[in-house]
Amino acid sequence: MNILLKSAKIVCPEDKNLHLKKRDILIKKGVIERISASIAPLSNVRELTFKNLHVSLGWFDSSVSFGEPGFEERETIKNGLAVAARSGFSDIVLNSNTRPVPDTSSDIVFLKERSNGSVTRSYPMGSLTMASEGKDLAELFDMHNSGAVAFYDFKQSISNPNLLKIALLYAQNFDGLVMSFPQDSQIKGKGIVNEGEVSTSLGLKGIPSLAEELQIARDLFILEYTGGKLHIPTISTANSVKLISAAKKKGLDVSCSVAIHNVLFTDDTLNEFDTNFKVSPPLRTKVDCKALIKGLKDGTIDFVTSDHMPMDIEEKKVEFDNAAYGTIGLESSFGALNTLLDTEETIALLTKGRERFGVPAPSLKEGEMACLTLFEPSSEWTFQKDDSASTSKNNMFQGQNLKGKVLGLINNNQITL
């Protein structure tokens, strides 16, 4: 693959000599050969020119679900990775919510092999407990040796605090990352949306913020006792931000993420009973959104995620109470986040998180393999159902105004345009 990118504005805060500079970038056989103010056209090199072309390091998403194995009707790994590439993501962490769940080393090997050769690289998580049932620890060490980057019972509360304690202690032997979903299942009860004025007016059972915050407080106390590495995925409340901020000031090795839809939407959107807005954790209030945005800006929240979760129409086109949780979000991630933050902040967030999961970080330097997302940040457009290449169409961003578009991805000596 020989490509010449012309007049690309580079967004790379890590390199002050290149950041926000316009440069030509020559890539030969997947390697960045030259970065210069001007590079003359070359034979056997494909020249790419776009209006308002911007380039950054490839983007990273820490929470992506597909369906294979077990739920291929939602999304196969092959098509899911093609969607991720089209969305500008060079690396994704694959959630452990398949059937069967990946709780052995052979499961991890299968997921890695199914991802081979794709433009986007996939890094699987293993489940924390056998069959994600919360009873016995899964084969953490064996899965780690086979390539699992973290251990997580996807969207399942760890109800047994001693199990989390043992997991954090055990994983320290190989520097493993343990994840705990922030929701107390007993306090959640039969709740399905945020508990508050909206849930009361709509007659929907509520999930109080306490369900999230109590679980986080418990997990942080356990982490302080055991040591180890803990990641709390997709927080959603203002007090959760405060709890994690205090823990970081204590020096605890804790990180957290937030789903993009949880910083952009509130539970006011539920008035139409659109099941695409039924997600876990639930959409909260304006006060929570404001605190989450502040947490992103001050670094309390380490990174954002699309929390991409395909669901077929049979699981969504039902009564709100009976609908499955989840929304897809890879294809709308950049345009949605870019409406809320400026482009530099957006790119900084979309390129963060690899180190926490032990994923190799790319570099925008001559002699390095090219791992670049191409985008333009200024066009305003409305996301429609036809804009999605995902097999499932459960996207809460349908009909929403977005800003900026992905133009392509260069990675693994391949290009997607």
Sequential DSSP letters for 264-285:
H--GGGGGG--GGG--SSPP--
Quote the tokens at residue 298.
Answer: 């001050």
SS (H, E, C) 280-312: CCCCCCHHHHHHHHHHHHHCCCCEEECCECCCC
Alpha carbon distance 386, 396 (integer Å)? 14
Domains of the chain, with CATH numbers?
A: 2-55+365-416 (2.30.40.10), 58-357 (3.20.20.140)
Closest CA to 371 of 345, 357, 351: 351
Q: Give the other-Cβ count within 10 Å of 222's Cβ.
A: 21
Question: Catalytic: which of 307, 312, 342, 387?
Answer: 307
Q: What is the mean pLDDT of the chain?
A: 97
pLDDT band at 317; cut points 50, 70, 90: very high
Please indicate whether residue 307 is annotated as part of the active site: yes
Span 238-262, average pLDDT: 98
- pLDDT, position 1: 83
- pLDDT, position 124: 98
- pLDDT, position 180: 98
Q: Please report, for residues 1, 90, 339, the alpha-carbon distance to residue 54 in angstroms, rounded to integers and kept in the order given.
A: 20, 16, 17
Alpha carbon distance 417, 412 (integer Å)? 14
Quote the tokens at residue 210.
Answer: 């306490």
For residue 154, the SS3 value is: coil
Strand 2-10 to 46-48 pairing: parallel
Digit-coded pLDDT (tens) for 351-401: 999 999 999 999 999 999 999 999 999 999 999 988 999 999 999 999 999
Q: Which amino acid is at 295?
A: G
- pLDDT, position 72: 96
Quote the tokens at residue 206.
Answer: 């509520």
Q: Is the pLDDT of residue 172 over 90?
A: yes
- pLDDT, position 224: 98
Gyration radius (Cα) of the chain, Å: 21
Strand 206-207 to 54-57 pairing: unpaired
Digit-coded pLDDT (tens) for 114-160: 999 999 999 999 999 999 999 999 999 999 999 999 999 999 999 99
Closest CA to 241 of 297, 325, 184: 297
pLDDT band at 280; cut points 50, 70, 90: very high
Span 254-271, average pLDDT: 97
For residue 412, the SS3 value is: coil
Alpha carbon distance 102, 125 (integer Å)? 8
Span 71-90, average pLDDT: 97
Helix (H) or strand (E) holding 78: helix 77-86
Alpha carbon distance 171, 216 (integer Å)? 19
How many helices and strands in the chain, by DSSP H and E? 13, 17
Closest CA to 119 of 1, 282, 238, 27: 1
| Number of residues that make up the chain | 417
pLDDT band at 14; cut points 50, 70, 90: confident
- pLDDT, position 50: 96
